[in-house]
Structure 1
């Protein structure tokens, strides 16, 4: 028996490995479970979330069958209702939305009552809806996935309006995904103009003309670069003969040829300037910024830098963005919470690996063959649901396994013995 066969891999007649090990199967299953838990945030698929009120963040779906795009009725339903009340309908996956109460069965669904909760108010006045509930996204107002779009482009969600944007339509160069945590679209920056003061926190990258490599510019790592402060409170960075103007924290002393910036903002400014009180509004000590032409990409924990003085809190409240001061509002917090709640379900994977190692080689090989057959058949069966945008129900899964059992041919025992000799 070959080494590949001993490790539980499927081998073709030409000797090439085809398939995966059972260890890979279990590890991939664990990863899929964690990904699903992150998206669903530990949502209950049996109980409607309506009684929980306006949930801070939850997975939502829009039913095109009940609320067509041209009906003028925008509505969202929770995970459980997507299964039990709209299982055979065409649904749009909205990922997550904040401060939302399930609409299923209310006045927006005149012909489809909620099967999980009968008593519901006609409307949820605090719910907010955008074009996503009609199946449209970005400034191009196209569906996702777009059958007419042949370009491979990522979709990025604005942390304020929660619409999704193509990277190429963000109005700026998108930094690497690991470098930023949240994005604010240009429309929201123009709507909430005082947020422009924080654009200096944005993730910025410079490309060298020679290497074309992206270089992160941070306030604390400028030893290899030459800096000069301009008149409008920005910093010119000169690298490999190329000059770029970048937003920067100015709480440092410049070179001898430039103006001097006080490190300690608790001290008085020059005699001609006002005294800055850092215990008050942070905006007084931040250089004034113009609203950029495109979106702004912000690093992790950037919200901790937001001013929380009384005047700024009034601005957040009046403009309906108080949630920016709540760290539990972020999608990252939601996803991590979902993974944490689901870890108890992933513990059995280790026991399954131990059980697998105790099996003999013949049984392990047969299990891999059976798994590959099952995986291929299931993918082909589910393809029609994906093409028709249909939800897979329990009845569909039962039908699949019934067909699989009916079509399965019994393998002769001696073939297995000969294969392993």
Structure 2
């Protein structure tokens, strides 16, 4: 890249290491991305209490004041500076507790007039700084095994990958549902199998070219669905070889099936693909407007539950947009509401959507871009001095913070200010040294 040619490299022969300014800026860009993931759409200046129960926001638990309460990002800065804060990442439908009855000795500085409690808030062990089924802190000083932590989309607790009951964790999942929540909301097993079959069908279809014939329409108990048609298909009551180039007939009120595998009789089970396979059970849609067509007579969940579900004692991993495949018939919507999980059919509830909103609020120019612009305006000597200064600061800061880690002390704002004051004093001494030398 052209930008890389602007950055010099500083070598350290004793450690055989080489660091460039571009490396530094890229590291800063990664830190910015991590901050966006955590802070996302949160407000850093104002307490979120007046906004009520926020659909999703970054939260912190103050272990110094109360280990069973949550405060918003702004309050963590303004009202709990220097306290022992536990980062909770994000939680849904939560209202800031700062200054209410859970904090009898601390009033909120940003919004002091709050009710005594937030009745709709829910709390789990994360607010006490504990995570996973092992109920350990993170990072755990006694755990020598390196393991990633994954958040359950239902209970929002965090779990070690090795404690989820899965032999292998896929690398392309977007959301995870823990073992406990799969037992609690066991209807999800039907969708889990449905999702796996859908992926296989979509994968097979994407790898094969399909000819498109003339368009036609077929009625199925009053419902109309637009299909790509070429030749008629034999009755579903017999065995037949079905091609993706030809349509599938109505099957006792169900929609058409398109598959490359032999189709079974509607009155029997198939060894490969059941008669009510993924295309049959796909929710009806109005192609012209893109809106969902909801019908009291069509329940995707009931159709899926007719099959035998393989329930396991493990977590499940879901790909992007899996929520859009959940049934939204009136009966299922009532079920979601009664069980307090209406968020499951809301795509804006996902952490991915939350992070996207945060990125959209960011300024177009990142620290990485600003750094490259500043770097390109310097000559090579200045570039070397800047990277050398950064390395010196990084080394001295690591040494300075090491004593806090050894003593188990919390780093406060005044400690950081003291560090940079010392850095500035040493810088002035170094700048004055040549002048003193020549004066002699």
Coarse TM-score class (shorter-chain normalised)? 0.7 to 0.9
CA contact (8 A) 1:161 1:188 kept: yes
The aligned counterpart of 1:146 is 140
Larger relative contact order, structure 1 or 2 (CA cutoff 8 Å, min sep 6): 1
The aligned counterpart of 1:402 is 421
Partner residue of 1:199 out of 192, 195, 201: 192
Partner residue of 1:285 out of 303, 307, 320: 303
Are 1:52 and 2:51 counterparts? yes
Cα distance per residue 1:289-328 (max 9 Å; x no partner): 1432111111111001000000000100000000011101
Q: 3-state SS of the aligned residue for 2:381?
A: helix
The aligned counterpart of 2:280 is 265
Cα distance per residue 1:90-140 (max 9 Å; x no partner): 111111100100001100111121121110000001111111111111111
The aligned counterpart of 1:335 is 355
After TM superposition, the structure 1 = structure 2 runs for residues 208-357 of structure 1, keeping only pairs within 5 Å, are 218-221=200-203, 252=259, 254-255=261-262, 261-262=274-275, 265=280, 280-286=298-304, 287-346=307-366, 349-357=368-376
CA separation of 1:86 and 1:201: change in aligned 2, threshold 3 A: farther
Q: 3-state SS of the aligned residue for 1:10?
A: strand
Partner residue of 1:181 out of 174, 181, 189: 174
State the Cα distance separating 1:413 from its structure 2 match: 7.1
CA contact (8 A) 2:6 2:376 kept: no
The aligned counterpart of 1:211 is none
Could you tell me which runs of 5 or more consecutive residues in structure 1 were left unpaired when the two chains were aligned.
Answer: 69-73, 205-215, 225-249, 267-276, 415-421
Rounded to whole Å, the distance in 2 between the matches of 1:405 and 1:36 is 28
CA separation of 1:158 and 1:323: change in aligned 2, threshold 3 A: same
CA separation of 1:115 and 1:256: change in aligned 2, threshold 3 A: closer
Partner residue of 1:373 out of 381, 387, 392: 392
Are 1:28 and 2:27 counterparts? yes
Larger CA Rg, structure 1 vs 2: 2
Rounded to whole Å, the distance in 2 between the matches of 1:102 and 1:150 is 35
Rounded to whole Å, the distance in 1 between the matches of 2:320 and 2:5 is 46
CA contact (8 A) 1:5 1:365 kept: no
Are 1:102 and 2:84 counterparts? no
TM-score, structure 1 as length reference: 0.76
CA contact (8 A) 2:296 2:329 kept: no
Rounded to whole Å, the distance in 1 between the matches of 2:355 and 2:405 is 25
Rounded to whole Å, the distance in 1 between the matches of 2:98 and 2:426 is 40
Cα distance per residue 1:362-408 (max 9 Å; x no partner): 11111111111112222333445566463642x33322211111233
Q: 3-state SS of the aligned residue for 1:33?
A: helix
CA separation of 1:18 and 1:200: change in aligned 2, threshold 3 A: same
How many pairs are equivalent? 356
Q: 3-state SS of the aligned residue for 1:369?
A: helix
Rounded to whole Å, the distance in 2 between the matches of 1:251 and 1:283 is 20
CA contact (8 A) 2:56 2:349 kept: yes
State the Cα distance separating 1:344 from its structure 2 match: 2.8
Could you tell me which runs of 5 or more consecutive residues in structure 2 were left unpaired when the two chains were aligned.
Answer: 208-256, 265-269, 282-294, 436-440
State the Cα distance separating 1:146 from its structure 2 match: 1.5
CA contact (8 A) 1:283 1:307 kept: yes
CA contact (8 A) 2:7 2:375 kept: no
CA separation of 1:19 and 1:13: change in aligned 2, threshold 3 A: closer
CA separation of 1:119 and 1:278: change in aligned 2, threshold 3 A: closer
CA separation of 1:85 and 1:256: change in aligned 2, threshold 3 A: closer
CA separation of 1:129 and 1:53: change in aligned 2, threshold 3 A: same
